[in-house]
């Protein structure tokens, strides 16, 4: 059964540990601006929502990339399906950032970056003390997961 990053919006405290861990693992510095996961905090609603790449089944970013730098790969060690950016091919044009409907790709140091699930062992999950982030086997496909998260986000917006 496939594994995916599962977000429990109701448990996120907005502490930012996931952002710090991500930036440290990928860039060697604690800098949330270089993180591939972002906790959007809504003070007026007393809630926070982690936003990270959904590893789409049919990624818009892949279609938008003129350099062919984005591909779908299965990690041979973990059999985890990941949408990856190849820095060697990336030209930094930002077309993928415009195409992603979730804003989950950023350009840093001239190259596109997005969550790569840390090779099947996401560090953001390990550091999340609130239990808002989990990496687990799921029966639902990525499209169903995306819809579930979107519905919860919509509900939280409509309540206020």
User: What predicted TM-score, i.e. pTM, was given to this entire model?
Assistant: 0.81
Q: What is the mean pLDDT of residues 71-88?
A: 89
Q: What pLDDT score does 35 carry?
A: 95
From CA 147, how far away is CA 31, in angstroms rounded? 30
Q: What pLDDT score does 20 carry?
A: 98
Domain count, the chain: 1
Per the model's pLDDT, the better-predicted residue between 156 and 87 turns out to be: 87
Q: Give the domain CATH number at 96.
A: 3.30.70.20
3-class SS of residue 126 = helix
Q: Which residues contact 23 (CB under 8 A, 6 or more apart)?
A: 29, 30, 31, 32, 33, 34, 35
Rounded to the nearest angstrom, the gap between the alpha carbon of residue 54 and the centroid of all alpha carbons in its chain is 6
Q: What is the mean pLDDT of residues 47-72?
A: 94
Q: What pLDDT score does 2 carry?
A: 74
Q: Which residues contact 79 (CB under 8 A, 6 or more apart)?
A: none
- 112-148: per-residue pLDDT in tens? 999 999 988 999 999 999 999 999 887 655 566 666 6
Q: What pLDDT score does 71 carry?
A: 97
Range of the domain at 63: 3-159
Q: What pLDDT score does 90 carry?
A: 98
């Amino acid at each position: 059964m496939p594994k995916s990053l599962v977000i429990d919006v109701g448990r996120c405290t907005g502490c930012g540990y996931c952002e710090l861990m991500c930036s440290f693992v990928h860039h060697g510095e604690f800098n949330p601006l270089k993180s591939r996961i972002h906790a959007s905090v809504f003070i007026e609603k007393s809630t926070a929502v982690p936003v990270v790449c959904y590893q789409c089944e049919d990624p818009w970013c892949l279609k938008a990339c003129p350099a062919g730098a984005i591909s779908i790969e299965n990690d041979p060690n973990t059999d985890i399906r990941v949408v990856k950016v190849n820095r060697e091919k990336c030209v930094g044009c930002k077309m993928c950032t415009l195409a992603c409907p979730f804003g989950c790709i950023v350009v840093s140091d001239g190259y596109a970056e997005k969550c790569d699930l840390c090779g099947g062992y996401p560090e953001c999950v390990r550091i999340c003390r609130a239990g808002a982030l989990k990496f687990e086997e799921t029966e639902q496909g990525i499209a169903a997961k995306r819809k579930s998260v979107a519905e919860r986000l919509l509900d939280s917006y409509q309540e206020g």
